[in-house]
Chain A
Amino acid sequence: MRLEFSHISKRFGDHQALRDVTLPVPEYQSLAIIGPSGGGKTTLLRILAGLETPESGSLSIDDQRLDFSEEFLLSHRRSIGTVFQAYNLFPHLTARENVVLPLTKVHGLSLIEAHETVAALFDRFQLSAHADKRPAELSGGQQQRVAIVRAIAIKPRFLVFDEPTSALDPEMTAEVLDFIAELRAEGRNLIIVTHNMGFAREVSDQCIFIADGSILEAGRSSDLLRNPQNPLLVNFLAKVLRY
């Protein structure tokens, strides 16, 4: 898929989250967005996911310009799969019900179809044993895997991950990252905000480095992460890779 950001700005009160972001992202399968905390990467992702509207500028996804009206954004959100850091699942529903809900209420599947879809997916991703547990009875890693299954169950155009492992223990991080790598191997389109550089390098083909509201460097992940040009990116990579 392709993206094109054009003069996108977004502010929250006094904080300028994005400053006139302009960038064409060439054809990619998987895009990583990296950068320091508070630099604007999550805001950029949320605009892509239709959860936030910029004050100015435009965004094209596969040459289709995104219309920032709420009506259009609702259908946009329905066409993509979004996974947040944590607490994606609704606590009063079981794992199975969490995945069934959008299928029946948003995507018009019958209850039987939805349950069949969910059973097949849970079976494939080794979650069947946990299908009838509520989120509180699942580990953080299992919760994230269920959330990812919920995102792919709707057959999304692409998947959006906002630091999907930053709230997890190291073991669970591996469990979730393996899952995402598997989705990439299936050929799905992904956009990931991550702090994990090793993972970004392994799983993405394009990478954007964003700090202080501006995109400072973008390019093929293998080049950008191995051979950074921008001094801020050099500095950032040196810091996150030190330990």
Chain B
Amino acid sequence: MRGKFLSFFVTQHHGTPVTTAARIVSWCLVALLASAVFSFAFSQLHYGWNWQAIWQYRQKFWQGWLMTVAISAAALLVSMVIGLLTALARRSAFLPLRYSAVLYIEVVRGTPLLVQILILFYVVANAFGLENRYLVGVLALSLFAGAYLAEMIRSGIESIRDSQLESARAIGLTRAQTYRYIIFPQVVRQLVPPLTGQFASIIKDSSLLSIIAVSEFTLNAQEVNAFTYSTLESYLPLAVGYLLLTLPVSLFSRILERRFRFAA
């Protein structure tokens, strides 16, 4: 009886598929547990909630949230261009170009984004007279994500078997045609799922731009907190606001992943 009770919740690798009932009950269980933990934590907190103060600033949250969406979308586009060019440079036969790509990728992946933002804004942008902090912010995020994308694109290109490149050569495609008709269509297919994941990362990472006073979601929440002294009321909507963006993206990514797995 007890074994049967437990096995209701256990999925087998090669057994029967999970029943809808088991799925619903399990999710409820998880939700119950999570809310129990957090209710307890919050109940221990002797805190005078003041949601009215926050409600006055709802417009500020909304504007910050929109700015985060805009910055993330712009950074995603720019990072794809940077990632593609870097991946190609990384495979270049011209060594100085190839090593520049290696240096860029390793430095970016080996340092915290926060440090990169500070250096880019206070040193590099300053030196080149770039004063628009939104531009610098998008650039910093793009350079950061671009390094990761470059490696994804490169491994995608390298996953194409040599035999295919050989066939492409044999039928007389030029190098550019081989990229256009053989390599890129396959790389793009592989890349769509990790790319959506990367987008979720960019959304979260954009919160660090608050350090250079880019008026995005996190900075606005910080400001509301400073005006109202209502810390939790400022930061809880912040968490929810990010989840509203990242959850659909990660759900979408999972759907794509499933779709492309079967199409291969």
Contacts and interface: CB of A to CB of B under 8 A. Distances in A.
B171 interface: yes
Contact of A87 (B164, B169, B173, B181): B164
Interface in A82-116: 82, 84, 86-92, 101-102, 105-106
A197 interface: no
Given A78-B172, A92-B186, A106-B172, A84 B181 contact: no
Nearest to B172: A78
Given A51-B166, A87-B161, A101 B171 contact: yes
Contacts of B21: none
Interface string A63-94: 00000000000110110001010111111100
Contact of B172 (A77, A86, A136): A77
B189 interface: yes
Interface string B178-192: 000110011001000
A106 B189 CA distance: 24
B236 interface: no
B264 A136 contact: yes
B177 A84 contact: no
B188 to A, nearest CB: 10
Contacts of B167: 84, 87-90
Given A92-B186, A101-B181, A136-B264, A106 B163 contact: no
B62 to A, nearest CB: 43
B5 to A, nearest CB: 43
B160 to A, nearest CB: 9
A122 to B, nearest CB: 17
B174 interface: yes
Given A87-B163, A90-B182, A136-B264, A105 B170 contact: no
B74 to A, nearest CB: 30
A150 interface: yes
A91 B170 contact: no
Interface residues of A, number: 22
A49 interface: yes
Interface in B113-169: 161, 163-164, 166-169
A92 B171 contact: no
A102 B182 contact: no
Given A90-B164, A91-B186, A77 B169 contact: yes
A210 B121 CA distance: 67
B170 A86 contact: no
Contacts of A136: 264
Contacts of B185: 92
A49 B186 CA distance: 27
Contacts of B168: 90
A78 B177 CA distance: 14
Interface in B64-122: none
A70 to B, nearest CB: 10
Nearest to A49: B170
Given A90-B164, A136-B264, A84 B170 contact: yes
Contacts of B169: 51, 77
Contacts of B182: 90
Contacts of B164: 87, 90-91
A74 B174 CA distance: 8
A133 B157 CA distance: 24
B183 to A, nearest CB: 10
A132 B181 CA distance: 18
Contacts of B186: 91-92
B173 A105 contact: yes
A101 B185 CA distance: 13
Contact of A106 (B161, B166, B173, B264): B173
A84 B162 CA distance: 12
Contact of A84 (B163, B173, B174): B163
Given A84-B170, A101-B171, A106-B177, 11 more contacts: A77-B171, A82-B170, A87-B164, A91-B164, A91-B186, A92-B186, A102-B172, A105-B177, A105-B181, A106-B171, A150-B171
5 contacts: A51-B166, A91-B186, A92-B185, A105-B177, A106-B177
The 6 A-B pairs at the shortest CB distance, nearest first, are namely A78-B172, A82-B170, A87-B163, A102-B171, A106-B172, A77-B172
Interface of A: 49, 51, 74-75, 77-78, 82, 84, 86-92, 101-102, 105-106, 136, 150, 154
Interface of B: 161, 163-164, 166-174, 177, 181-182, 185-186, 189, 264
